[in-house]
Chains A and B, each alone.
Chain A
Amino acid sequence: MTRVLLTKQNGLSITVDASKILETAHLLKNLKFDHVISVTATDYPEENRIDVIYHVSSFEDLELAKTILEIRTTVSRQEPNIHTLVAVWPSIEFLERETTDLMGINFGGREAMARLLLPEDFEGEPPLRKSYTIRTEGIDA
């Protein structure tokens, strides 16, 4: 399940299976995509999936830097497991930890890390999932 799309504005988009993510990363790293700009997880509760989207680009090759390459992959909401890419791209470290905190995605294959953004004893629904509801104050003007 690997598709390559040319989107209108932000260059390339690749869709891969979650199990192939490490391979893909190695491949791209060899193509000089040397850093990760962002890791985004988007929650789709109706379809019971979480999309994990990596945006990677290059610093070393300034021509390649003009492209932001998007790698899309999908994990299930119940078992949001995916292999870590920290060995391939060290720059992903805090992005992955943030995604673990806020979306509850488990990045396997790396040592367990303390919580980054949330309090260390935080429990319950990861805050960025759609099922987490924000309590709002009453508005009294």
Chain B
Amino acid sequence: MSEEQTLELLIGPQHPGSGHMRLVAEMDGDVILNFEPNIGYVHRAVEKIAETKTYVQIIPLVERTSLPDTANHNLGYVLALERLLGIDAPLRAQYLRILLAEINRIHSHLYGMGIHGNMIGSTTMLMWAFGDREPFIELAQRLTGARLSYSYIIPGGVRRDLPQDFRNDALKALSYMERRLKDYDRIFVHNPVTLARLKGVGVINRIDAARIGVVGPNLRASGIAYDVRKIEPYCIYPDLDFEVVVRDEGDAHARLLVRIGEIEQSISMIRQILGKIPDGSILADRYLDLVPSRTRFEKRSSVKFPALFSGLKPSKGEAVSRVEASRGELFHYLVSDGSTHPYRFRIVTPSFKNLIAFKHALLGQKLADIPAVYGSLDYFPPEADR
């Protein structure tokens, strides 16, 4: 094909539909011949900055990689750190961690669905999803004190205990969400126009999905029942009754449905957690004992950090952790040389792993499918760039 017949379209970084990245599409008429994502526009060198910070200071830092999904990122890092330190959180703290992680998963999926809706033109879905994030952000705020950047999970436990009335409020928010999912079905998910736009678009089949290594809901929409919460259960996931949401189609609509299925699963998980959360301490005794007795946890709803936290020194070694963040498997790898700073900190975010899907899912699709597929991957550029 001669060069004049193709058109190189540079979508972004300043484009309403590109996010913080550039998409280079080689078009033949309306068909995409070649597609190359070009990222790095929001690269903040989290790995390098982490080498200059102490272990506890990194907690807010890892959250900044993915602001819609801070709890899971926080959890992943703290799990790796706890493995380095050789410490475990008490059971109640584990429950609270997963409670926050699942609340976060719901509002992160809503964020993704909203953006997806906007990308194919349904502003109603955008506004509804963003509005319905609010009850969950409010729940998380009452639990942690912040709307998005929770910094809630610390080595050895969590920072605050459940506030009063939380259980009732949460149950109300959950039944509200179940009601709203039906509204979404009517106006967006099963809207004939949405079906026309998403069905059979951006298909990643089972074999390709494993080969190119996409993660999270995108992988499960391609028929692979891989979920870290089941494969390598962490915290209290073994005690919770939930199912891995899988679909076989591998197209954009399947990815949307998997996310909705996961919201339903999260709702059921939060109900279980609220039902059987045990009483007890929320910080490991090893740290609690270091706090002056005046300010001990029993007398207040939040814990006091021991002075040790300003300079945690894990022993020399390495630790990896993987958790199922909202967008997929999140991998942390910590190398300690025995000092107060990590020697090397590696973080592979789910969006970075999903980036490769752009190259494969969009070949042979139409120009208008770019936002449809982009949205369905729930790709979050700052999370990929780190």
- Taking Cβ atoms with an 8 Å cutoff, the residues of A that contact B are 9-10, 34-38, 40, 42-43, 53, 55, 59-60, 62, 65-66, 68, 70, 89-91, 93-95, 98, 102, 114-119, 127-128, 132, 134, 136
Question: Considering the chains assembled together, what is the distance between the CA atoms of A65 and B324 in angstroms?
Answer: 14
- The verdict on B152 contacting chain A, using a C-beta distance below 8 Å, is no
> Which of A10, A37, A98, A128 meets B48, CB within 8 Å?
A128
Partner of B49, one of A40, A89, A98, A134: A134
User: Main secondary structure on chain B at its contact with chain A?
Assistant: mixed
B210 part of interface (Cβ distance < 8 Å): yes
Contact indicator per residue, chain B 331-359, by CB within 8 Å of chain A (1) or not (0): 10101000000011010100011011000
Q: Which residues of B contact A128 (CB under 8 A)?
A: 45, 47-48
Q: Chain B 198-220, CB within 8 Å of chain A: the 1/0 string?
A: 00000000000111110000010
* Segment among B170-178, B225-233, B286-294 that sits at the interface with chain A: B225-233
Q: Using Cβ atoms and an 8 Å threshold, which residues of chain A touch B344?
A: 40, 42-43
Residues of B within 8 A of A66 (CB): 231-232
Q: Is the CB of B211 within 8 A of A42?
A: no
Q: Which residues of B contact A65 (CB under 8 A)?
A: 226, 231
- Pair B210/A37 contact, Cβ less than 8 Å: no
The 8 Å CB contact of B331, one of A38, A91, A116, is A38
Q: Does B226 contact A38, Cβ atoms closer than 8 Å?
A: no
Is B52 an interface residue, CB under 8 A from the partner? yes
Q: Which of B48, B212, B225, B343 contacts A91 (CB 8 A)?
A: B212
Evaluate whether A95 and B348 lie within 8 angstroms (CB atoms) in the complex, with A35-B210, A66-B231 already known.
yes
Using known A-B contacts A62-B225, A117-B43, A134-B52, determine if residue A55 contacts B211 with beta carbons closer than 8 Å: no
Nearest-neighbour CB distance to chain B for A106, whole angstroms, equals 19
Question: Is B329 interfacial (CB-CB < 8 Å)?
Answer: yes
- Cα distance A34–B348 when bound, in Å? 17
- What 8 A-B pairs come out closest when comparing CB atoms? A91-B213, A35-B213, A117-B40, A59-B210, A38-B348, A40-B346, A42-B344, A10-B320
B→A interface (CB under 8 Å): 38-40, 43, 45, 47-49, 52, 83, 209-213, 219, 224-226, 231-232, 319-320, 322, 329, 331, 333, 335, 343-344, 346, 348, 352-353, 355-356, 385
A contact residues around B38 at 8 Å (CB): 114, 116
Q: Which residue of B lies closest to A70 (CB)?
A: B320
Tell me which residues across on chain A come within 8 A of B320, comparing CB atoms: 9-10, 55, 68, 70
Beyond the given A34-B211, A37-B322, A62-B226, please list 5 additional residue pairs across the A-B interface where CB-CB is below 8 A. A9-B320, A35-B211, A37-B213, A37-B331, A60-B210
Set of chain A residues within 8 Å of B355, measured between Cβ atoms: 94
**Contacts known (A65-B226, A94-B356); A116 close to B346, Cβ less than 8 A:** no
User: Do A37 and B348 have beta carbons less than 8 Å apart?
Assistant: yes
In the assembled complex, how far is the CB of residue B57 from the closest CB belonging to chain A, in whole angstroms? Answer: 14
- Cα A65 to Cα B45 with chains together (Å): 29
Contacts of B346 in A (CB 8 A): 38, 40
- Which of B45, B329, B385 has the largest number of chain A CB atoms within 10 A? B45
Q: With a CB–CB cut-off of 8 A, which chain B residues contact A119?
A: 40
- A63 vs B173: C-alpha distance when bound (angstroms): 37
Separation of A91 and B343 alpha carbons in the complex (Å): 26
A90 to B40, CA, bound (A): 20
Q: Which residues from chain B contact A118 at a C-beta distance below 8 Å?
A: 40, 43
Give every chain B residue within 8 A of A132 (Cβ-Cβ).
Answer: 48
Inter-subunit contact B352/A94 (CB<8 Å): yes
- Do the beta carbons of A91 and B211 come within 8 Å of each other? yes
Whether A134 contacts B48 by the Cβ 8 Å rule is yes
Q: Which residues of B contact A10 (CB under 8 A)?
A: 319-320
Given contacts A55-B331, A95-B348, contact A90 B212 (CB under 8 A): yes
Q: A35-B210, A37-B329, A62-B226 are in contact. Are A42 and B335 (CB under 8 A)?
A: yes
How far is the CB of A9 from the nearest CB of chain B, in Å? 6
Contacts of A55 in B (CB 8 A): 320, 331, 333
Task: Please name all residues of chain B whose beta carbon is closer than 8 Å to the beta carbon of A116 when the two chains form the complex.
Answer: 38-40
What's the least CB distance linking A111 to chain B, in Å?
13
- Cβ–Cβ < 8 Å partners of B356 in chain A: 90-91, 93-94
B residues in contact with A115, CB < 8 Å: 40
Task: Give the shortest distance, in Å, between A110 (CB) and chain B (any CB).
Answer: 15
18 contacts between A and B (CB under 8 A): A9-B320, A10-B319, A35-B213, A42-B335, A42-B344, A43-B344, A53-B333, A65-B226, A65-B231, A90-B356, A91-B213, A91-B353, A93-B356, A95-B352, A102-B47, A128-B45, A134-B48, A136-B52
Using CB atoms, name the residue of chain A closest to B232: A66
Instruction: Report the separation of the CA atoms of residues A127 and B319 in the bound assembly, to the nearest whole angstrom.
Output: 23
